[in-house]
A and B are shown apart, each in its own frame.
Chain A
Amino acid sequence: MIANFGYRPHQSILEKIDPRARWIFAFCMLFSIVLFWDLRILSVFFVITLIQFFVSKVTWQETKRAWIFILVLSSIMIFINTIITGVETVGGTIRGGTPLFSLKIPLFETFYVLTVERLWFALTQYLRIISIASLFIILPFTMDPRLYGVTFKGLGFPDKLAYTMDLAFRFIPTIARDFNVTLDAQRARGFEIDKGKMNIFQRIRRMAPLMVPVTMNSILAGEDIANAMDLRCFGLKKRSWIENLHFKTGDFVLIGFSILILVVSLYLRFGLNLGDFWMPGMS
Chain B
Amino acid sequence: MQTPHSPLPLVVENLTFRYERRELPAIKNISFSIQPGQIILLAGSSGCGKTTLMRCINGLAPTIYKGEMSGKISVFGHDVTQLSLLQLSQHVGTLLQDPERQIVASHVLNEVAFGLENLGVPRLRILQRVDKTLEYLGIDHLKYKETFKLSGGEKQKVALAGVLVMEPKLLLLDEPLASLDPASAAEALKLFKRLAEDGISILLVEHRVEDVLAIEPDLIMFMEDGEITYQGDVKGFLEIADFSKVKLPAEIVAQRAKSIQFPQRTRSFEPDTSSELLRFENVSFQYRQDLPLTLKNINFSIHKGEITAILGHNGAGKTTLVKHALGLLKPTSGTVYLDGKDTRKMTIAEAAHTIGYVFQSPTQMLFAPTVEQELTFGPQNLGFSKEEIQKNVDWAIQTVHLEGEKQTPPLALSFGQQKRVSIASVLSMKSRILMMDEPTAGQDYWNYHSFMSSILDMPGYDAILFITHDLDLAIAYANRVILMANGQIIRDGAPEEVLKDISTLEKAHVLPTSLLSLNLKLLPKTKKFLRAELLANFI
- Give residues in A with beta carbon < 8 Å to B: 145-146, 166-167, 169-170, 173-174, 178, 181-182, 184-192, 208-213, 216-217, 220-221, 224-244
Least CB separation from B428: chain A residue: A189
**B113 CB, min distance to chain A CBs, angstroms:** 5
Least CB separation from A217: chain B residue: B363
A243 touches B110 (CB 8 A): yes
Question: In the complex, which of the residues A178, A209, A216 contacts B377, with contact meaning CB atoms closer than 8 Å?
Answer: A209
Complex Cα–Cα for A255 and B409 (A)? 55
Least CB separation from A191: chain B residue: B381
Complex Cα–Cα for A172 and B347 (A)? 30
Complex Cα–Cα for A37 and B126 (A)? 51
Least CB separation from A184: chain B residue: B328
B357 at the binding interface (Cβ < 8 Å):
yes
With A169-B106, A236-B85 known as contacts, the answer to whether A182 contacts B364 (CB < 8 A) is: yes
Query: Could you jot down 29 A-B contacts, CB within 8 Å?
Result: A145-B106, A146-B110, A170-B106, A184-B323, A185-B359, A187-B328, A190-B348, A190-B378, A190-B381, A191-B349, A209-B367, A213-B364, A213-B366, A217-B363, A221-B101, A227-B64, A228-B102, A231-B60, A232-B115, A232-B162, A233-B85, A233-B86, A236-B85, A236-B86, A239-B117, A239-B120, A240-B122, A242-B123, A243-B110
Main secondary structure of the interface of A (DSSP, over half): helix
B400 at the binding interface (Cβ < 8 Å):
no
Question: In the complex, which of the residues B130, B163, B357, B363 contacts A220, with contact meaning CB atoms closer than 8 Å?
Answer: B363
B348 touches A188 (CB 8 A): yes
A213 touches B117 (CB 8 A): no
Complex Cα–Cα for A166 and B364 (A)? 25
A224 touches B101 (CB 8 A): yes
Question: In the complex, which of the residues A182, A189, A209, A231 contacts B58, with contact meaning CB atoms closer than 8 Å?
Answer: A231
Question: In the complex, which of the residues B102, B115, B119, B367 contacts A212, with contact meaning CB atoms closer than 8 Å?
Answer: B367
Within 8 Å CB of B123, what residues of A?
240-242, 244
Main secondary structure of the interface of B (DSSP, over half): helix
Within 8 Å CB of A190, what residues of B?
348-349, 352, 378, 380-382, 429
Complex Cα–Cα for A220 and B366 (A)? 14
Complex Cα–Cα for A174 and B146 (A)? 12
* Most A C-beta atoms less than 10 A away, residue of B365, B380, B382: B365
B348 touches A239 (CB 8 A): no
**B179 CB, min distance to chain A CBs, angstroms:** 12
**B54 CB, min distance to chain A CBs, angstroms:** 10
| Apart from A192-B349, A227-B64: 8 A-B pairs, beta carbons within 8 A | A166-B110, A169-B106, A190-B378, A213-B363, A220-B363, A228-B96, A229-B104, A240-B121
Chain B interfacial residues counted at CB < 8 A? 66
Question: In the complex, which of the residues A170, A182, A232 contacts B365, with contact meaning CB atoms closer than 8 Å?
Answer: A182
Least CB separation from B356: chain A residue: A188
A232 touches B323 (CB 8 A): no
Within 8 Å CB of B348, what residues of A?
187-188, 190, 192
**B159 CB, min distance to chain A CBs, angstroms:** 8
Question: In the complex, which of the residues B60, B105, B382 contacts A170, with contact meaning CB atoms closer than 8 Å?
Answer: B105
Segment 19-73 of B: residues with Cβ below 8 Å from A? 58, 60, 63-64
B120-151 interface code vs A (CB 8 A; 1 in, 0 out):
11110011001000000000000000011000
Complex Cα–Cα for A221 and B357 (A)? 24
Within 8 Å CB of A229, what residues of B?
104
B74-100 interface code vs A (CB 8 A; 1 in, 0 out):
000000000011100100011011101
Least CB separation from B411: chain A residue: A216
Within 8 Å CB of B326, what residues of A?
188
Complex Cα–Cα for A279 and B110 (A)? 53
B102 touches A237 (CB 8 A): no
B298 at the binding interface (Cβ < 8 Å):
no
Within 8 Å CB of B148, what residues of A?
170, 173-174
Segment 282-325 of B: residues with Cβ below 8 Å from A? 323
B96 touches A224 (CB 8 A): yes
Within 8 Å CB of B377, what residues of A?
189, 191, 209
**A228 CB, min distance to chain B CBs, angstroms:** 4
**A223 CB, min distance to chain B CBs, angstroms:** 9
Within 8 Å CB of B64, what residues of A?
226-227, 230
A189 touches B425 (CB 8 A): yes
B338 at the binding interface (Cβ < 8 Å):
no
Least CB separation from A231: chain B residue: B94
B344 at the binding interface (Cβ < 8 Å):
no
